[in-house]
């Protein structure tokens, strides 16, 4: 009777939201909202302190929530968000990496003009306004608001179990990032160019993602990943629609991952962004985007893996080759790290094409290992400066080992980790994905990966040669600035994690094997 009544009058089911399971995301997004209010209401003098407190409290609080939720395996929020092992592992990784990156962003000692962000991003580069702002020593704190929104999006992205939620998360993480990229205090034009490029190409790729979503909806009649998997299992409908949908959807995801041939934005954006932001995006976006990619490929499209694996084979191989070869010719440290990031994305894709449990675990380990070394490496880039700002040309790094042995040694450690030398975190990651790749039958790709690693070692080693074996260029060249406790702590944590994951990898392997598989 009641049911009939409801059917007649049209009913509205109150959605059930499992607030506790969503706590990590809600904490960060809530803090972001508070942060907006702080910007609007709190006097300038207190803003920075307050923003820092809010940011770190949110990150730590969310991390605590992730730890408390560990072991949860459920789909919440009316089937649109999965809180499962992989989600929690990636959210944990993102939070840890964001916290390290935030420490670098909070640095106010290395740049004599204040921090590394433009006083007013809206001022025209080189205009009198801008010079006035700089002269007056204005500093801005909006970056923290943007940062928190971005982290909120990042946390949701790998957890989404339907394509629309995933798209929303993608936009929530991307939009603040486009602005953050344009905030560099020095080399404003480069920064704005990077911002615009990233925005245009990012919007473009979002459109691809959306189009792919639409086609898959047309095929399956649902945007939920498990729904698509079921439809594929029943193999009803038009296969052409699926393949086109998968291709378009992949373009959107692979763009964020930075895989070739959708990598063109990476070097420019990495170079133009404020270096602390580069470290943040290089590490965290990769984790979130790979998380989403893995979820889509394993949960929704696992049934048709024989159709998409050839495509991913080619992309993985291409990404490794392009990243490695272009990195060889770079003369700017940030661009080199950008191409290295592309090559690393290729290695991670080996874990994706493995399409087995080991592939998922391996990729997660790789993401964490790579992320830690990346934030650390970019943190060090912020410290090597001359009078005009960061000294990013490789020739300026010559002889750094002589003047600042500790900083150079830390950087060398990160480079060795990128190169995948045993007893560093990078090797743990490579070992895990390559093993998974061979077990998953992707041996040729692993061999390409191995050869690419050998070539890639060259450009990492070259920097070590520069730092340790070459004479410093000249007196008055760049020097390492002594940072405040923020950056020091960030680098220390990154070094420690790099070594721990390298020497005692079982700790991470335990975590990922507890994390288990994606819940459906």
Partner 1 sequence: MTNSYWLLALLVVPLVGAAAVMLVPRANERLAKQLALVVSLVVFGLTVAMCAQFVVAQAADFQFVYSVSWISSYNINFALGVDGIALVLIALSTSLVPVVLLAGWHEADGARGSVRGYVALILVLEAAMVGVFAATDLFLFYVFFEAMLVPVYFLIGRYGGPRRNYAAVKFLLYSLFGGLLMLASLLGLYVVSGDITGHGTFDFTQLAALANQIPPDTQKWLFVGFFVAFAIKAPLVPFHTWLPDAAAESTPGTAVLLVGVLDKVGTFGMLRYCLELFPGASHWATPLVIVLAVAGIIYGALQAIGQSDIKRLIAYTSVSHFGFIALGVFVMTTQGQSGSALYMVNHGFSTAALFLIAGFLISRRGSRLVDDFGGVQKVAPILAGTFLVAGMSSLALPGLSSFVSEFLVLVGTFERYTWVGVVATLGIVLAALYILLMYQRTMTGPTPDVVTEKVHDLRGREVLAIAPLLVVIVALGFYPKPVLDVVNPAVDRVMHAVGATDPAPQVAPVAEGTAK
List of residues contacting partner 1 (CB under 8 A): 402, 416, 419, 421-423, 427, 431, 434-435, 438-439, 443, 446-447, 450-451, 453-454, 457-458, 461-462, 465, 468-470, 505-506, 509-510, 513
User: Minimum distance from CB of 322 to partner 1 (Å)?
Assistant: 19
Q: Give the 3-state DSSP-derived string for 175-233, with helices as H, strands as E and coil as C.
A: HHHHHHHCCECCCHHHHHHHHHHHHHHHHHHHHHHHHHHHHHHHHHCCCEHHHHHHHHH
Non-local CB neighbours of 206 within 8 Å, separated by 6+ positions: 167, 170, 171, 174, 252
- Which one, 209 or 460, has the nearer CB to partner 1? 460
- Which one, 21 or 497, has the nearer CB to partner 1? 497
- Which one, 19 or 458, has the nearer CB to partner 1? 458
- Which one, 189 or 451, has the nearer CB to partner 1? 451
User: Minimum distance from CB of 189 to partner 1 (Å)?
Assistant: 36
Q: Give dist(CA 72, CA 471) in Å, integer.
A: 55
User: Minimum distance from CB of 207 to partner 1 (Å)?
Assistant: 39
User: Minimum distance from CB of 469 to partner 1 (Å)?
Assistant: 4
- Which one, 58 or 464, has the nearer CB to partner 1? 464
- Which one, 393 or 402, has the nearer CB to partner 1? 402
Q: Give dist(CA 254, CA 31) in Å, integer.
A: 30
Preceding omega of 261 cis (within 30 degrees of 0): yes
User: Minimum distance from CB of 371 to partner 1 (Å)?
Assistant: 20
At 81, is the secondary structure helix, strand, or coil? Answer: strand
User: Minimum distance from CB of 507 to partner 1 (Å)?
Assistant: 10
Are the C-beta atoms of residues 385 and 465 closer than 8 Å to each other? no
- Which one, 175 or 446, has the nearer CB to partner 1? 446
At 471, is the secondary structure helix, strand, or coil? Answer: coil
- Which one, 54 or 398, has the nearer CB to partner 1? 398
The residue written with tokens 């964001």 in the block is 98
* Separation in Å, CA 288 to CA 40, 221, 368: 30, 26, 11
User: Minimum distance from CB of 434 to partner 1 (Å)?
Assistant: 5
Please name the helix (run of DSSP H) or strand (run of DSSP E) that holds residue 497, with its range, or none. helix 485-503
User: Minimum distance from CB of 515 to partner 1 (Å)?
Assistant: 12
Report residue 211 as tokens: 């189009």
- Which one, 379 or 436, has the nearer CB to partner 1? 436
| Helices and strands (H, E) in the chain, number of each type | 22, 5
Report residue 338 as tokens: 């950008």
CA quadruple 405, 411, 414, 420: dihedral, nearest 10: -70
- Which one, 206 or 435, has the nearer CB to partner 1? 435
Q: Give dist(CA 194, CA 273) in Å, integer.
A: 7
User: Minimum distance from CB of 410 to partner 1 (Å)?
Assistant: 15
Report residue 109 as tokens: 């000692």
Among 173, 169, 168, 159, which Cα is nearest to 90's? 159
* Separation in Å, CA 510 to CA 361, 483, 504: 10, 35, 11
Q: Give dist(CA 398, CA 513) in Å, integer.
A: 43
Report residue 267 as tokens: 């070097």
- Which one, 454 or 496, has the nearer CB to partner 1? 454
Q: Give dist(CA 99, CA 87) in Å, integer.
A: 18
User: Minimum distance from CB of 443 to partner 1 (Å)?
Assistant: 7
- Which one, 248 or 367, has the nearer CB to partner 1? 367
Q: Give the 3-state DSSP-derived string for 261-296, with helices as H, strands as E and coil as C.
A: CCCCHHHHHHHHCCHHHHHHHHHHHHHHHHHHHHHH
- Which one, 254 or 415, has the nearer CB to partner 1? 415
User: Minimum distance from CB of 456 to partner 1 (Å)?
Assistant: 10
Report residue 149 as tokens: 């929104």
Q: Give dist(CA 276, CA 104) in Å, integer.
A: 6
User: Minimum distance from CB of 422 to partner 1 (Å)?
Assistant: 4
User: Minimum distance from CB of 393 to partner 1 (Å)?
Assistant: 19
């Amino acid at each position: 009777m009641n049911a009939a009544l409801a059917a007649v009058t049209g009913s509205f089911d109150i959605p059930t939201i499992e607030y506790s399971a969503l706590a990590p995301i809600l904490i960060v997004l809530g803090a972001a909202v508070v942060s907006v209010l702080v910007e609007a209401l709190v006097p300038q003098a207190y803003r920075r302190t307050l923003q820092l407190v809010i940011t770190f409290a949110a990150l730590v609080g969310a991390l605590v929530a992730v730890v408390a939720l560990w072991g949860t395996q459920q789909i919440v929020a009316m089937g649109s968000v999965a809180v499962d092992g992989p989600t929690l592992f990636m959210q944990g990784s993102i939070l840890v990496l964001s916290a390290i990156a935030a420490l670098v962003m909070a640095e106010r000692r290395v740049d004599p003009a204040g921090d590394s962000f433009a006083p007013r991003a809206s001022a025209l580069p080189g205009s009198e306004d801008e010079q006035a702002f700089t002269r007056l020593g204005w500093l801005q704190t909006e970056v923290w608001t943007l940062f928190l929104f971005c982290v909120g999006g990042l946390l949701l992205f790998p957890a989404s179990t339907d394509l629309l939620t995933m798209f929303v998360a993608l936009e929530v993480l991307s939009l603040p990032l486009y602005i953050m990229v344009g905030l560099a205090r020095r080399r404003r034009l480069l920064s704005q160019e990077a911002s615009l490029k990233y925005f245009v190409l990012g919007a473009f790729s979002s459109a691809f993602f959306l189009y792919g979503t639409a086609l898959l909806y047309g095929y399956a009649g649902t945007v939920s990943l498990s729904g698509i998997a079921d439809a594929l299992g029943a193999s009803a409908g038009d296969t052409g629609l699926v393949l086109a949908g998968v291709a378009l959807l992949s373009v959107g995801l692979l763009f964020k991952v930075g895989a070739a041939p959708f990598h063109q934005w990476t070097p420019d954006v990495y170079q133009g962004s404020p270096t602390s932001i580069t470290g943040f995006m290089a590490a965290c976006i990769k984790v979130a985007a790979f998380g989403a990619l893995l979820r889509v490929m394993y949960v929704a499209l696992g049934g048709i893996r024989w159709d998409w694996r050839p495509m991913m084979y080619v992309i993985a191989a291409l990404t490794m080759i392009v990243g490695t070869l272009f990195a060889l010719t770079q003369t700017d440290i940030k661009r080199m790290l950008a191409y290295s990031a592309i090559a690393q994305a290729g290695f991670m894709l080996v874990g994706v094409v493995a399409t087995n449990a080991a592939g998922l675990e391996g990729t997660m380990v790789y993401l964490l290992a790579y992320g830690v070394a990346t934030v650390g490496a970019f943190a060090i880039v912020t410290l090597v400066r001359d009078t005009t700002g960061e000294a990013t040309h490789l020739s300026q790094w010559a002889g750094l080992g002589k003047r600042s042995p500790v900083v150079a040694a830390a950087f060398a450690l990160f480079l060795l980790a990128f190169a995948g030398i045993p007893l560093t975190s990078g090797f743990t990651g490579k070992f895990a994905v390559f093993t998974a790749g061979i077990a998953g039958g992707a041996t040729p790709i692993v061999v390409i990966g191995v050869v690419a690693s050998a070539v890639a070692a060259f450009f990492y080693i070259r920097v070590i040669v520069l730092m340790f074996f070459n004479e410093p260029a000249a007196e008055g060249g760049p020097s390492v600035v002594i940072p405040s406790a923020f950056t020091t702590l960030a680098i220390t944590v990154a070094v420690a994690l790099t070594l721990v994951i390298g020497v005692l990898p079982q700790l991470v392997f335990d975590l990922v094997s507890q994390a288990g598989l994606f819940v459906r």
